Structure 1
């Protein structure tokens, strides 16, 4: 079952990578990132709600904590989609997907600030490594010829921070409810947020446009199928393995951008991507101090 779980996570990551390329095509066709985000999330909500209804009695939950954590996850995914697409518009698919995967670094920094974990030289080095990678990726080392503007970097990092918020809310909600319940509530919250932000004239015009097929494909691949595959896959996969396998997304996004859209990356940018991905993988694989302490306590009790 482990191989099946890993395969499902890989498929989900590939779908997410392709969704960035599809969004880039839609933005090149003149569509607003918020409208694109709304369609992606709304189609995903339809998929999750259908999944929820298949076993309504088993999936129904009444605890207020589920709605709080799931809604928080919805806020996170709304920010992630919006900032991710804005970053693609400001830079490229490869840069956007890589900056989004700085999420584990934000988790570590927040853990330090809230004193959930103690800072260590290893974690500090990992955070420094990601910063070096970002500088190389965005061209910040040469202020006269930045490859990515300040707004592009800011929105990319905001996508990563939003992704971390989604993970935080989703994990807490899933501990007391089934994934399909959590995803349904989260994406319902997402839809409410985006409906207030989107230009409804543009939303309705997209339904009758020639790009409606791309909108549907984006929603099915980028939210519906991918999230379902991912939440099923991680049930049979270790969290560290899942985090490493999910790194297929920026690689897929980079290849999509290079082969189909015409995005070009310099050698320094490729090295920056490599540094960020390797550092995040190492940070994800390294067990936290809290988990090590809990294991030590269990061993002592067993003795």
Structure 2
């Protein structure tokens, strides 16, 4: 079962990496970042509703309705920020840069934890932070004069996408103590869809079902907000968090390969070196951390022993 769990997590990471490439392709065809983010959330919301009702999760009472709704709404805010900032970063830089910057966000969560005295600095954590900072400098080319491949907005949006993702992880983990995973994701994705409405060109959004690319939007929503979440949650129940944290690297790597092979978005040797440093440092940090309440990537943000679904399965 552990091998199947790991394979499902890998499949989820592959789908999230492909999502970045599909989003970049849609933007190259004239679709706005906010529009594709809106559709990703809406299709994901429909998928989560289907998951919840088909498997009977809607019949399970919540331990605390207020806690479930409160944390799920915060998770929705994180999802909205993550989706929109990520694709705006892709638009301002490239799929590879945006995905890697988002992946490095846990470092900034650690820094905030140090300043708030929630976490104690250790040589491993401090070393990882330094390595990630060096990697970001190399990846974004901020020290290269005349480099225009990555704009300041692209860097800012990529990091904001990661921070938003961290907010989602924190809220999702907290909400999982009060209700079922499908219900939490349905609330979060539903709210994120509503949050995006004021920022979205609704004329363009409504035109999607009548456009030639309608099927790409459906595929984009399924792999980015529907099937991927199901694979990830199901896989995490049967795999170790330490293993999941390693295979999560597949997401930025897949995004990079999609950008390179399909979109023609190349990287310089310096940028590849920066990307490798970031992924290596995050992996080392993920393996070294032992406290479940530290905000890292999703594989470490969920605990099988605090999930209602896992508890129900064990009993």
Provide the TM-score with structure 1 as the length reference: 0.92
How far 1:288 sits from its partner (Å)? 4.1
How far 1:60 sits from its partner (Å)? 4.3
Asked whether the 8 Å contact 1:92–1:257 carries over to 2, the reply is yes
**Pick aligned residue for 2:286 from 271, 284, 287:** 284
How far 1:87 sits from its partner (Å)? 0.9
How far 1:96 sits from its partner (Å)? 0.8
Distance in 1, matches of 2:147 and 2:95, equals 19
Asked whether the 8 Å contact 2:5–2:238 carries over to 1, the reply is yes
How far 1:196 sits from its partner (Å)? 2.4
**Pick aligned residue for 1:233 from 232, 235, 242:** 235
Distance in 1, matches of 2:118 and 2:178, equals 21
- Aligned pairs for 1:1-303 (under 5 A) are 1-54=1-54, 55-61=56-62, 63-288=65-290
Per mean C-alpha deviation after superposition, the further-off stretch among 110-119 and 198-207 is 110-119
Distance in 1, matches of 2:149 and 2:26, equals 22
How far 1:185 sits from its partner (Å)? 1.0
Asked whether the 8 Å contact 1:52–1:180 carries over to 2, the reply is yes
How far 1:145 sits from its partner (Å)? 2.1
Unpaired runs of 5+ in structure 2? Answer: 294-315
Alignment length (residue pairs): 291
Aligned to 1:296: none
Asked whether the 8 Å contact 2:14–2:254 carries over to 1, the reply is yes
How far 1:150 sits from its partner (Å)? 0.6
CA RMSD, aligned part only? Answer: 1.5
Asked whether the 8 Å contact 1:59–1:180 carries over to 2, the reply is no
Provide the TM-score with structure 2 as the length reference: 0.89
Q: Equivalent residue of 1:261, what SS? A: coil
Structure with the bigger percentage of helix: 1
How far 1:148 sits from its partner (Å)? 0.9
CA deviation profile, 1:93-143 (whole Å, cap 9, x unmatched): 111111110122123123223322112232111111111001000101224
Distance in 2, matches of 1:250 and 1:199, equals 28
